Structure 1
Amino acid sequence: MAELARVSRLSGPERAAVLLLVLGEEFGAPIWESLDDEELRQVTLAMSTLGSVSAQNVESVIGELAHHYSRLTVVGDYERTHELLIKLLPRERVDPIMDEIRGPAGKTIWQRLSNVQEGILANYLKTEHPQTVALILSRVRPDHTAKVLSLLPDEFAIDVMLRILQLDNVSKEVMDQVENSLRTNFIANLSQSSRRDAHDTMAEIFNAFDRQNEAKFMEALEANAFKSAEKIRALMFTFDDITRLDPNSAQVLVRSVDKLDLAKALKGASAGTREFFTSKMTQRAAALFLDDMAGLGPIRLKEADEAQQRIIRTAKELAEKGEIIIAKSGSEEDAILE
């Protein structure tokens, strides 16, 4: 790891990491215990990716506290950091933070990269040299490489593909450098870049509201943050959005949902949505289904809402498994071709 040349390059969390490494277990324990979870996460991340810090930098950091150390080098990495924190803090505080810093699951760096969302990986790689990108993408899963390449600028992606074809045996030293760079510059910082947008989270919260609360809170949100309300509304997946499913996906969904749930859900749906579902059944099955729905008699609006939510969850689960496609409204890339 490259040595940090000047203390001015050290961030606040990095200075704190240096100080805590110097203090060690005995003198550093009270400070660790006083950190809240966010402070602990920041300092732990800094410590695990710190690398070598010269005696001069250590002296400068300690000098801020009127101390002086000489001929001292501090090194932080994931394993040493984990070992230190486990000694000092309850495991239930340490493990979630270290898991977040460790990044995606996988025994090797390449397995972990194959589990990184392709958009995030592509965004990182597009700033790297094409030769480095070629080396990296030649080591991850082919299906993941295909998705990443499709997200890179065309000219850049083609350059990378040509370089992959021309790759010779790569020395262990070069591979070690690439792996270390990925660990310190990408994987360790992945948790910061991969956190979900708050609008995505809020859209799922609104999806879970019954329609009365959805209308109440959306009205309040529109009054206070109209642009955010618009974005949340666009991200929401409602029961009526199911009508945008392609014919095959719609039939899979109809076969997968509980028919009583579907009957209750359609009690509270528009005529167009009812027609969409019944059109995916045979004429006889549709007639029997409508008879069963009429036989339910009046039901509470809450029951219809709850049934709709269960069907929405089923649709999302099927989409995650790749069994159906949920198209985004107005998105050209999600258009369904027959």
Structure 2
Amino acid sequence: MPDNPLAPTEEETTPAESSPVSPSSLPDSAEELSGAQKSAILLIALGIETASEILQHLNDREVEEISVEIARMRNAPSDLVEDVLLEYRDVARAQSYVAQGGVEYAREVLQEAMGPDRAEELMMRVEAAMEVSAFHLLQTVETDQLTNFLRREHPQTAALILAHLNSRKSAEIISKLGEEEQEEVMYRLATIGNTSPEMISDIEDVIRNQLGSVIGAETSVAGGVDKVAEILNTTPRSAEKSILDALRDRSEELAASIKNRMFVFEDLTEIREEDLQALLMEVDQNELALALKAASDELKHTIKRNLSERVVEGLEEEIELLGRVPVSEVEEAQHSILQTAQEMEKQEKIVLSRSAEESMVG
């Protein structure tokens, strides 16, 4: 999906206050609206289901800014809504022309269709939207296509690209690579540091040539052991083990550093009881039963100790009814619960650190 041309600009984005937002008065003209306000109007007009799908493709800052505007917004005048929708249609149409034949082709078509002034105004918006990083656009490329592309590239290039993808997509790609490829790419990802603009530019050229992405500039990359640990947390257990073993052969210290940053299902025994209870409230009982099929007795005991007797009875019955299940299904359930836990930690609802008690101060 193309990046939202109505998303807030850097100048328009400041951290949202945590206090309740107050209603905002809207200007009479769409030209006076901020990018975040236009996006809010667009998402409201599209409805909850479509809006939710679109928000999944935006970064946290964009989601926060647009959500604040949605919360502030009351009834927008129908003519203002219509102007925003027409603007989005025009910009989206211009972007499609760029995809078909490039910037100059799009400019010529638009000049023919709506005159030079309006065409130039639209092209300025489109060219601004095109300044989005290639790595952000890669999130929309099919996993198989991206995997095949990375197989043909140098491991360092593959590592840099994986560092920019979300962990779930990176894990899917890693699981499709051969063992030697996994080892090489993950080692380079773990040892990556800040990357020069020149190298990033070279990689953007590779992506542009191979995948046809329209991209802009980027200056650094968030790689390192934290990124590898995050990816391995969502990688199938067999692949996780083989990658860690291979990295250990190269560097005991590096592998240990990655392992220490990983949080696996059995580590739920190490977190505070109040955090475990908060997590269990968010987990589906059927999924929990499946995840516990291959759990240690210690973890089963810890979880049951933090559930009511009635829930424990239902859980034990559910586990018994499951019978024999594939290991892959059990691992998938465990990964799903861990992802819920990690999302709750990002929202500062729980703490997952194995040394959480030690890091607390009174």
TM-score by shorter chain over 0.5:
no
Specify the structure having the higher radius of gyration (Cα): 1
- Normalising by the smaller structure, the TM-score range is 0.3 to 0.5
Normalised to the residue count of structure 1, the TM-score between the two structures is: 0.42
